[in-house]
Amino acid sequence: MDEKDGLVSLMRPLDREARNRYTLLVEVADQGTPSLHSTSTLLVTVADINDNPPEFVRTVQQVGVLENTPVGTEVTRVMATSRDIGVNAEITYSIQHGGLSPYLTIHPHTGVISIAEELDYEVVQSLVATIIATDGGSPPLSASCLLNLTVEDLNDNPPVFAQGEYNGRISEGAPLGEYIAQLSAHDADSGENKRMSFSITDGDPYNKFGIHYRTGALTLAREVDREQVPYYSLQVTVRDRGTPSLSSTVSVLVTIGDINDNAPRFEQGSYSAIVQEDKKLGYSIVRLRVTDLDAEGNGPPFTWELLDVPGGSVGFGRSGSSIRESSSQIPSIITAKSLFAMDQDGVLRLATAHLDNKIRSEYILRVRAWDSGSPPLYSDCTVNVTVVERSKYPPTVFPLTVTVYSYRIAYKGGIIGKVNALDKDRYDVLHYSIGLFSSPLKYHQNRDIDYFDVDSEDGTLVAVTPLDAGLYNVNVTVSDGKFSRSVDVVIDVRVLTQQMVDNAVILKMASISPTQFIARHKDLLVKSLASLLYMSERQIHIISLQARPAEHWSDNKSSIRTRIVRQITEILDVLLVIEKNQDHYYTRKETMALLLGKQERIKRKMSLEHFDIMESVCISDSQCSGNGECVDIIEISDDVVMPLNTRLGSVVALRFEHKPG
């Protein structure tokens, strides 16, 4: 302090953070004698300047957090202090991410650090951030600390197979433990969450396969048989060891490879065949059929071999004499291999044209079939071939007339009939074919040949294209291999119009089948009606017929007749329309009036036990849903029934239904 002017000054720098206040006792004295003095107290307060940076309580912080922790969750809190006061001690916090995505955020005043972006262990396992604390002084001072954050793994990733599906192959007969396929998977988690185990969870009910729980190697555990199960569709699951455990499943198709472990198998253990003695070289006697449970390569194609039966080189004729005794011109030893041959289609054929049933009437052959495997396997069967006399009689073929009905459009095609033939020769096999007309007068009819085909074995005649209304002619030839006979088949296609159906009447007959009616009663019915109604037979048209169960025929005329009808099992409905003049027809009412007056005479003329004419099925107008007067309707179905075949004629008729409308 200056003694003269009382000026107080600093002798050295003050540090507020060391001492922020001083109390001084100041004395002032005069120059008198005695000197007088007074004292006073001087309070000195040290003002703060920003000379102290903030200080963190901890300069390094270690924090762990689970992945998938929700955004906004508090992770930790940092704290920094300042020895200064006031504005100089006001701390503001900030965070530096070091180039990483801003996963963290910090509250600028509280120092609370929170999750700013979802953490995924599979993306980032740890991060280091710098926390800055800055005071409010001027100029501001700052300090920093390090935050080491470790992301802890959750089991949030299931194992994933390297492939969407696997395929393996193992041959039947392979040794147990044989490797089939290698399965692999990856888990993005870590630690126990990443450790995986494999297992077969479906598709292997008999435990034929095994899989190493750790490596995923699929192997054979039990014998497999391709002929029983050709492939297995396995479901393999890989599971991690997390809590809770996660898993994935993949399909594994294991194909069982074939080995030749099954011999060919004949459909029959033995065969019998008959061959006529005049058949030509190469004649097909019988076809042998074999199957093989193995796959192609170990099964078909088959190789055929004809073997001699021991002791079979000498045969006996009808008299019981040996070959040597029967004819000096026949070799002393005749083997089956010299008379017959097998082709590679399994057909036994004649290798000679000189069979004679008087010399030898029976041959017992042994046929062997080899498969294509390596080594090949085989099976044997016996074939008993009986030699009979040559054909003596030509076939008898019956002419055929076919009537085909179609509704409003051309007949769409299908089976229309059957050509019938007989042969007196017991062992003759007949073959049917369509041929050309040889007569010059019928050359023009050969154009119809393209419309039809015939089954070569049973004579079934088929229309292979749609047929318009009209007459068609086709020539069918029947052959027994030696003799041939031909017959003309006439096909009459008639297209029914709606007018014909609307005016048609149903005649009911009992105890007559459709084929019996066609063979015995159809023409008689037409003749009888024409005679009784004084009309031409051309005016009488039978346009369909069908059989139906008898219970659908209700007759309430008398209790006695009802009892009789109940004993009938089937009724024949015949659909009839009568032509008045060209393309015009009697109405249904007119036709019924004509027939009802002649009903008993028709019945007697045709010698029918049961004969009736349709009755109305309209009981009340309510059956027509109140849409006017109820009327009888005959409705034709587009479904064509199978043809009704007799020896001389066939009819392709349409189904129909009688109902109110």
Set out the domains of the chain in order of their start, with CATH numbers.
1-47 (no CATH), 55-143 (2.60.40.60), 160-257 (2.60.40.60), 265-388 (2.60.40.60), 396-495 (2.60.40.60), 500-615 (3.30.70)
Q: How far is CA 466 from CA 402, 416, 451, 627, in A?
A: 15, 12, 8, 39
Beta strands in 559-608 (DSSP E): 570-581, 584-585
- Amino acid letter, residue 217: A
pLDDT at residue 287, as a whole number: 94
Return the structure tokens found at 358.
């008087």
Q: Which residues pair with 251 in a beta bridge?
A: 165, 235
- Name the token pair of 499: 């007018």
* Residues 617, 657 contacting (CB under 8 angstroms): no
Q: Which two tokens stand for residue 250?
A: 């993949």
Give CA separation, 154 vs 62, 76, 150, 187, in Å. 19, 20, 13, 12
CA distance 428 to 390: 9
What pLDDT, on a 0 to 100 scale, did the predictor assign at position 623?
Answer: 55
Q: What residue type is assigned to position 153 of the chain?
A: D
CA-to-CA distance for 246 and 276, rounded, in angstroms?
78
If you count them, how many residues does the chain have? Answer: 661
**Average model confidence (pLDDT) across the chain:** 86
Q: pLDDT tens for residues 8-51?
A: 888 888 887 788 888 888 888 888 888 888 988 889 888 778 88
What distance in Å separates the CA atoms of residue 329 and residue 333, rounded to the nearest whole number? 12
- What single-letter amino acid sits at 347? V
The pair of three-digit structure tokens given for residue 634, joined into one six-digit string: 């005959």
pTM above 0.85, yes or no: no
Radius of gyration of the chain (CA): 56
* 65, amino acid identity: V
285 neighbors 349 (Cβ within 8 angstroms): yes
- Beta-carbon contacts of 587 under 8 Å, excluding residues fewer than 6 positions away, are 503
Distance CA 599, CA 509 (A): 12
| H/E stretch holding 522 | helix 522-532
What whole-number distance in Å separates Cα of residue 487 and Cα of residue 647? 13
Peptide bond into 34 cis (omega under 30): yes
Cβ(415)–Cβ(301) below 8 Å: no
What pLDDT score does 324 carry? 33
Q: Name the stretches of the chain with pLDDT < 50.
A: 312-333, 552-566
* CB-CB contact of 501 with 477 (8 Å): no
d(CA 365, CA 359) in angstroms, rounded, equals: 17
